[in-house]
Amino acid sequence: MTGIRIDSPRLILPTLVFLGTVSTAVGSLGAPLLPTIARLDGVSLAASQWALTITLLAGAVASPVLGKLADGSHRRAVIVGALAIVAAGCVLAALPFGFGWLLVGRAMQGIGLGLVPLAIAAARDALPPAKAGPGIALLGVTTAAGLGIGYPIAGVVTQFFGLAAAFWLGAVITAIAAIGVLVILPDSPARPATKLDLVGAVLLAVAIAGLLLVCAEGPQWGWASTALVVTAVLAIVASVLWVLWELRVASPLVNVRLLVHPSVLAADVMVVLVGAGIYPLLSLVVRYVQTPTDAGYGFDYPAAIAGLMLVPYSLASFFASRVVQRLIARVSLEVLVVASSVVLIGSMVVFLTARGSLIPLLIAMALAGFGIGAIFAVNPAQLHQGVPAHETASANSFYQVLRYIGYSLGSALSATLLVATIPTGGSVPTEGGYSAAAWFGIAALVVAVVAGTLLSRHSARRRAIGVREEQIAAEESLAG
């Protein structure tokens, strides 16, 4: 140990896993606490939704910026700085300053959602080759596991100690993660100084913010409202301008040319479809079990018990990462993703057909956790097949942005389906709303299976062509 540094390679992966889990868990604090936030701050449930929306917005915007900064030689400093912002956001949200300041705090907490790609890039650099693959797969599922951990802990702490206690706890564990990174994570390899593409960052931020606002606020604003249409057009224009700019600039925020590589394209397309298809299940189950029984369905569980419904999801996602590592040597990455998507369809089918009792709901959550854990364990490996080492963080960060877009799209559309079934003068959707949301999830996942199958065949053909070209080159070299 030199100063406050601990030179222990064995502690690197646990530190990175803790970092990824904490950042995702803190970012998810808003979801199970929305009813409590609405009650304590005197706002509507629709307004309280901003405590989640603004976190996703901040995370989506921060992800590519942090990724680009971390592609240089100051990755550890970037991670610690981001964690400091997250911890400060937790403190701000815990203090009794009102709803507006709570939203500011939640936005600061959203910065942490961009840290998992940085952890993956750090693992690729710091771990021995034999351990890098399994380590990266494990880090890939921390986003799923963090949700499964954050929901129940937030529910229990809030029920017994109050809303502020949940955010104080978030500040403490974030500070612990920052200390761990500071003293254990080694310096990243020396690389040329990274120049931040500010124009690209602004254009991408506008595009992401516009798209996520459309997804998140569509049910409240109205899908045909002027505000929504203008926001959607602005997002589309900003997206086009961003792509054109990134193709021209010398040091782009994201190397968009890499996005057409078959393995990168497969990972990016699948994460949007899978995110849209399965993410709503988490909130659907939590909301369903809290519904009063006089609605004709539901279990009337308190928030603490409802949050525990995600424990099987979290445990299964970690288990899936271990199973996937044993299969990667025998099965192609694309086939694993497609098979995992089929498991996700099974989880939605269970929710659709057997949600009237507790055990099937737990089974549905376990299947969802296994499927999403397997996909998130495989996707980073797919990305790394087509991305140079020095662009790992930025490529993973853009992948993370697409994940949040998928989450927001699925969450918004499922919420719209639920709200559409609320009777006039009522406040609780009919059970048919949950069936409609489940059918939407199944449809998105079926599209994911079809897209994954087609992309898998395309990727296999590209690899076969590449191998043949190498053989021809070798033969010509020998002949010469």
Least confident range of 369-383, 386-400, 430-444, 460-474: 460-474
Which residue bears the tokens 């792509």? 243
Which residues pair with residue 5 across a beta bridge?
Answer: 2
Mean pLDDT of 435-452: 94
49 vs 23, higher pLDDT: 23
Euclidean distance between CA atoms 395 and 259, whole angstroms: 8
Mean pLDDT of 413-429: 82
123 vs 351, higher pLDDT: 351
Which residues pair with residue 2 across a beta bridge?
Answer: 5
Cα three-residue angle 411-419-162, rounded to 5 degrees:
65
pLDDT in tens, 51-94: 887 888 888 888 888 887 877 678 899 999 999 999 999 999 99
Euclidean distance between CA atoms 420 and 332, whole angstroms: 42
Euclidean distance between CA atoms 461 and 47, whole angstroms: 49
Question: In angstroms, how far is CA 166 from the centroid of its own chain?
Answer: 21
Tokens matching residue 433: 């709303």
CB-based contacts of 56: which residues, under 8 Å, 6+ apart? 110, 113, 212, 216, 404, 407, 408
Three-state secondary structure call for residue 5: strand
Q: Residue 470 pLDDT more than 80? A: no
% of residues, the chain, pLDDT over 90: 37
- Report the candidate in 14, 203, 13, 171 with the shortest Cα–Cα distance to residue 88: 171
Which residue bears the tokens 């490529």? 395
Cα three-residue angle 171-173-176, rounded to 5 degrees:
110
* pLDDT given at position 374: 92
* pLDDT given at position 143: 74
Which residue bears the tokens 């010509």? 476
CB 374 within 8 Å of CB 239: no
Least confident range of 2-11, 118-127, 169-178, 212-221: 2-11
pLDDT in tens, 269-294: 999 999 999 988 988 998 899 888 99
* pLDDT given at position 72: 67
Q: What torsion do the CA atoms of 458, 459, 465, 471 make, to the nearest 10 degrees?
A: -160
* pLDDT given at position 433: 93
Tokens matching residue 184: 């254990």
**pTM of this structure:** 0.81
Amino acid at 208: I
Q: Residue 441 pLDDT more than 90? A: yes
Amino acid at 69: L
* pLDDT given at position 474: 46
Q: Residue 473 pLDDT more than 80? A: no
Range picked from 1-15, 330-344, 430-444 for highest mean pLDDT: 430-444
